[in-house]
Structure 1
């Protein structure tokens, strides 16, 4: 009698996680964050509610992890490192390239809907807001700061500039315009942000 191999619990768990990620992203896109529930995610994913609560404490935690996973998988599918800032030696070109990629992401409904939901929930829920900043925003901001420090080493940025403050000159306006819908999000807009940040607005 041939002995059947034991079920692979790791594979089963990963399959369930993937189903839960997909369900959370799909539901938020279809019914919005307020009407998305853990019960709804579980039903959509074909798992028990307790399976979700075994790994996450709330629907916000599920959505945040699903969103982070989506970004990583999308970047790798494109042959890129997640949230990488290039260093070609041309600071302006590098910043414009990564901000253009950010524009594409912000305008993609698959990313935009959960990102807006998490940003809004983070304003009301301190723990969600902290997780959103620590796990999503801070890693990206550190990469910008590292790129600016490299530019300082090459002489392209003044030594007395604080990279963490400087990056806000182009990152913060984009985030504000996107969140508040105060104007279009375009390549021309982000290119201009970089030009203004690097060269100022006073006569040269």
Structure 2
């Protein structure tokens, strides 16, 4: 370099990491999850397979990090004081995630792979699912404390009742819920929970 300062290895590594994550998502969108290989990701990102395996144990782990990074950048679970409105906003965002490239195809592939990859399954639970279930549960807890839900409402079951149908349709490759259908789902679950 002209100023005599050597390149920063951490910056170079971050640049490579971002290139790998982007390449993984691009290839998954272009070729499908099964055909997006570690070799192809390395070639697209301009790194060696050794570099990839130094940071991730599998293709699924790469894509999980890419998805999680993209989702973390979105807004957190909203709290406007109106639980039904906040659920509509958040659940429609989940449907967009599940159905829109590049994240949707990548996540569908990961959900398939966790059926036989225990390490990836644990990572999906720890990194992606559990924090989002906790955020949803925390929002329901606030609603319960504010009287929108009864004090004896089973909040863990409520999270599954709200979000389970979205994943059911995604996993079975059925058409996703429309915003109107999501509103109907929320109304039904709120009534089942005894919401005021």
* TM-score for the superposition, normalised by structure 2: 0.91
The residue correspondences of 1:134-153 to structure 2 (distance < 5 A) are 134-153=126-145
Deviation, 1:201, is 10
In 1, distance between residues paired with 2:165 and 2:79?
Answer: 23
Q: Does 1:44 align with 2:41?
A: no
Match of 2:60 in 1: 60
The residue correspondences of 1:75-86 to structure 2 (distance < 5 A) are 75=74, 80=75, 84-86=76-78
Q: Does 1:99 align with 2:99?
A: no
2:163 pairs with 171, 188, 192, which one? Answer: 171
Q: Does 1:157 align with 2:186?
A: no
* TM-score for the superposition, normalised by structure 1: 0.88
Contact 1:178 1:185 (C-alpha < 8 Å) held by counterparts: no
In 2, distance between residues paired with 1:38 and 1:174?
Answer: 30
In 2, distance between residues paired with 1:116 and 1:197?
Answer: 26
Equivalent residue of 1:54, what SS?
A: helix
Contact 2:99 2:105 (C-alpha < 8 Å) held by counterparts: no
In 1, distance between residues paired with 2:23 and 2:8?
Answer: 23
Match of 1:124 in 2: 116
CA RMSD in angstroms comes to 1.8
Deviation, 1:66, is 1.4
Deviation, 1:3, is 5.5
In 1, distance between residues paired with 2:28 and 2:175?
Answer: 24
In 2, distance between residues paired with 1:65 and 1:105?
Answer: 15
Could you tell me which runs of 5 or more consecutive residues in structure 2 were left unpaired when the two chains were aligned. Answer: none
In 2, distance between residues paired with 1:72 and 1:101?
Answer: 12
Deviation, 1:124, is 1.8
Which 4+ runs in 1 deviate beyond 3 A?
Answer: none
Match of 1:5 in 2: 5
In 2, distance between residues paired with 1:13 and 1:183?
Answer: 40
2:177 pairs with 181, 185, 193, which one? Answer: 185
Q: When the two structures are aligned, how many residues end up with a matched partner? A: 193
CA gap 1:17/1:158 in 2 versus in 1, 3 angstroms:
same
CA gap 1:27/1:94 in 2 versus in 1, 3 angstroms:
same
Deviation, 1:104, is 2.2
In 2, distance between residues paired with 1:70 and 1:137?
Answer: 14
